[in-house]
Structure 1
Amino acid sequence: MRLLDVRIVRWYSKLAYVLGALAAGWVLRSSLNALGTPPVATVAIGQLFDLVAILYGARVFRGRREPVGPARPWWRMTAWAPAGWVIGLLAVFYVAVGVIAVFLPVEAVGAEASSGAASVASSVLSTVWFAVVAMLYLNSARRSTTAPSAEPTPNVKPTVR
């Protein structure tokens, strides 16, 4: 059985996948920190892992009335456009926060300055990561609203009495 032949349909299985991916990402980042990996490398490797987990989840998750057998189109991240809009706009919010974090001096918000260049590089990586996630989900939502539905609508006229 190939990894992309797996299908996750039930909500509790999807929740278990997401929680498992979060836990695995936390273990990966903690291990890298314990090994003395530079913070920027830890952020980059952790975000690459997260992106792979998101993309794999998008390939194997299936929504209600979505065909289980065939592979999803490459651009589809969610079963329904509203979910793509919500996740994409949430990622856009985090992009905005990241841009503010990169360009606003840390002292201006009353926080202590951290390690300077490494902190800025980590913020830039996070902002780019959220921009990629936003692009994936917003593109999926936009195309889902214009793509033909999987189930054709029957052309039945109501009977008038």
Structure 2
Amino acid sequence: MPTRIESAQGKAGYVIVGLVFGVFAAMALAVTVEGPAASLGWGIYLLVWVGLAARTFRGDNESLAAPRAWWRMTARPPSGFVLATVFVAQAYLAITSGRRPDDGSALAVAALNALIAVAYLHSSVRLRAAAESTGAGA
């Protein structure tokens, strides 16, 4: 049976460990690799981290055995809307923060965050539409 994370504690643990590891990985990349390679490494880490969360987290309204639909990122629409907002804010900050390299890596990181935000938004819109069509509400 595939690994699934159902509990709030398990999800919080995944996020906290992922953030701490991500900060240390970003610092290590910043001091060991030059320019865009550090941003590329961070981008790969971010995609894997978010992708694993989307595939393994499960809500109480979801089957543990069946895989999620390819487009589904969260169990319910509100959490996807919140996460989309977080990733939009990160994209905005990546391109408007004071000091950043001139090699285009800030734009690449912003684009990646915007892409993840779109995935969460798409998931929430579809989940809300499905709930409304079945009369379940969101």
TM over 0.5: yes
What percent identity do the matched residue pairs reach?
Answer: 27
**CA–CA distance in structure 1, aligned partners of residues 29 and 94 of structure 2:** 23
Shift of 1:126: 1.9
Say whether the 8 Å CA contact 1:91–1:130 is kept in structure 2. yes
Which letter maps to 1:57?
A
Indicate the larger mover: 21-30 or 11-20: 21-30
| Structure 2 unaligned blocks of 5 or more | none
**Preserved contact between residue 7 and residue 61 of structure 1 (Cα < 8 Å):** yes
**Alpha-carbon distance between aligned partners in 1 of 2:100 and 2:120, rounded to the nearest angstrom:** 32
Tell me what 1:70 maps to: 66
What is the RMSD computed on CA atoms of the aligned residues? 2.5
Which AA in structure 2 matches 1:135? V
Please say if residues 100 and 106 of structure 2, whose CA atoms lie closer than 8 Å, have aligned partners that are also in contact: no
Tell which deviates more after alignment, 79-88 or 23-32: 23-32
Structure-2 change in CA distance of 1:98 and 1:145 (3 Å): same
Using structure 1 for the length normalisation, give the TM-score: 0.72
Match of 2:83 in 1: 87
Cα deviation digits, residues 80-139 of structure 1 (max 9, x gap):
01111111123223334445x28xxx5xxxxxx665x23xx2320221011111111001
The corresponding residue for 1:126 is 109
Query: 1:109 maps to what in 2?
Result: none
> Is the CA contact (8 Å cut-off) linking 1:7 and 1:60 kept in structure 2?
yes
CA distance in 2, matches of 1:26, 1:90: 17
Task: Give the match for residue 19 of structure 1.
Answer: 16
Pairs aligned (count): 135
Q: Which has the larger radius of gyration?
A: 1
Aligned to 1:50: 46
